[in-house]
Amino acid sequence: MKSHLILIFGIFGFCLNAFAADLPVASDIDFKTGMMWEWSYKNSDGDIYSVERYKLVDIETFQLNTTLRFEMSTSYNGGPFEVHHQFTMNLRQCYRSHLNPRQRMGFNLRMYPIRNGEIGRYVLAPSVAFEEKFNCNGNIYENNWRYETSFSTVVNPILGERAVFYQKDKIKKGAQLTGAYDTQTGIMLKKVFNPGTENEYTSELTDLISY
């Protein structure tokens, strides 16, 4: 896939907020309206069957709260992208959900279905739609009974070799927030679902546009 990479992650201009974190989190990213990310989904043979696009369409800031609105669209088997949802999420709420390393506090997104170009009423949805792609957990876990942080490298199609970290749940082996997040940005670069099974598939960042 041809990349439309304009700026590499290192130029995002991190601005650490009032919270301290050992790992990069979403609230450190200089989000700007119009930014887009694409993750390609591949089957066990490495063939791409769909591409998921996130586009940041609006940013609202009030006092210490920043709310992002994303548009989600999907391309199947090389076809055109079809917009199917928007969601909003609060960056402060996302980061604060992990402030206590001993207990993760859940939070919800507002998910808006889109049908025939019309945006419907929102429903509350789990935070996975955002956290699976952008890290909110800045803790490094060592000798923790529940969670484990590990480090490695991956070779990304547009960024080359990158250092990554994983936040693994020792109890919920199939937990969704187990991707390889970039150590510079906290953005998910690669994730393997159902590893070692006949249903294995992979999600990988294959394009981005930043401003």
pLDDT tens-digit readout, 163-211: 999 988 888 766 666 899 999 999 999 999 988 888 899 999 999 987 6
What mean pLDDT do residues 95-120 have?
A: 87
Q: Which domain holds residue 51?
A: 16-209
Amino acid found at 150: S
CB count, 10 Å around CB of 60?
A: 11
Q: Is residue 5 part of a domain?
A: no
Q: What is the pLDDT of residue 103?
A: 74
The chain-wide mean pLDDT, for the chain, equals 86
Report CA 57 to chain centroid distance, whole Å: 16
Task: Please report, rounded to a whole number, the percentage of residues in the chain having pLDDT higher than 90.
Answer: 60
Q: Is residue 187 part of a domain?
A: yes
Q: Is residue 159 part of a domain?
A: yes
CA distances from 111 to 21, 29, 71, 206 (A): 28, 22, 10, 25
Q: How many domains does the chain have?
A: 1
Encode 2-11: b = buried (16+ Cβ within 10 Å), e = exposed.
eeeeeeebee
Q: Is residue 156 part of a domain?
A: yes
| In the predicted structure, residue 5 carries a pLDDT above the cut 50 | no
Q: Is residue 138 part of a domain?
A: yes
Q: Is residue 6 part of a domain?
A: no
Q: Is residue 180 part of a domain?
A: yes
Tokens read off for 144: 């923790």
| Residue 89 or 64, more confident | 89
What mean pLDDT do residues 59-80 have?
A: 93
Q: Is residue 151 part of a domain?
A: yes
**How much is the pTM?**
0.86
Which CATH number goes with the domain that contains 46?
A: 2.50.20
| In the predicted structure, residue 17 carries a pLDDT above the cut 80 | no
